[in-house]
Amino acid sequence: MDYNNEIEILDNDFPEPLCAACGQQHSDEENHFYAYTDEVDDDLTCHICLHALVEPLDTPCGHTYCTLCLTNFLLHENFCPVDRKYIMLQSCKKSTVLVKNLLDKLLVICPFSEYCQDVLPRCDLEDHFLNR
Binding site for a second copy (CB under 8 A): 41, 43-44, 58, 62-64, 82, 94-102
Q: How far from 35 is each of 97, 113, 120, CA to CA, in Å?
A: 23, 11, 11
Nearer to a second copy, 53 or 110 (CB): 53
* CB of residue 30 to a second copy, shortest distance in Å: 22
Using left for φ > 0, alpha for ψ between -120 and 50, and beta otherwise, residue 55 falls in: left
Q: Give backbone dihedrals phi and psi of 56, rounded to 5 degrees, phi first.
A: -70, 145
* CB of residue 89 to a second copy, shortest distance in Å: 16
Nearer to a second copy, 94 or 132 (CB): 94
Residues 6+ apart with CB under 8 A from 62: none
Nearer to a second copy, 26 or 100 (CB): 100
* CB of residue 128 to a second copy, shortest distance in Å: 22
